[in-house]
Amino acid sequence: MSERPEDLNLPNAVITRIIKEALPDSVNISKEARSAISCASSVFVLYTTCCANNFAMNASDVLSAMEEMEFQRFITPLKEALEAYRREQKGKKEASEQKKKDKDKKQTQKSKTGAGLRTMKKMRKDWKKKNRTKKRM
C-alpha cells in the first residue's frame, strides 16, 4: 500500500477542475475548502473501494458498492450518467473511425493519382538521361 497518508489523496489538479466545473465562474473557493473537499473525496473513494472489495474497480463495482453503502438514491443518477458517458464515447469512436476511413479513402485516391504522376516524371527523367548519353557519344 502507501507509506504516507498524503499518497492516498486524489490529485489536486483534478479536484480543482471538478470544483470549477461544478461551481459558477463568479464563485471563488478558498485553499482550505479545496483541501477539505480533497480529503473528503479521498476518504469516499477509499471507502468505496473497501466496500467493493477491489482496488481496481469498474462501473458495476461502483454501483454495487453504492448499494452496499446504502446510497440507493445515487444509483439511478449514476446509471444515467454512465449511459450518457458510454453513448458519448461510442459517438466519438464512430466519428474517429469515420474520419480514419475518409482519410484512408483520400490517401488511396491521392496515391492512385500520384502514382501516375510519379511514373510520368520518372519516365521523363529516364528519357532525358538516355538522350544525354546519346548526345555525348
List, as one string, the DSSP characters of 41-78: HHHHHHHHHHHHT-SS--HHHHHHHHHHTT-HHHHHHH
Count CA atoms within 13 Å of residue 55 on its CB side: 3
Residue 65 has pLDDT above 70, yes or no: yes
pLDDT digits (tens, 9 = 90+) for 77-114: 999 999 999 999 999 999 888 888 888 777 777 666 55
Residues above pLDDT 70, as percent of the chain: 85
For residue 132, give Cα distances in angstroms to 72, 121, 129: 87, 16, 5
Beta-carbon count within 10 A of 44 CB: 12
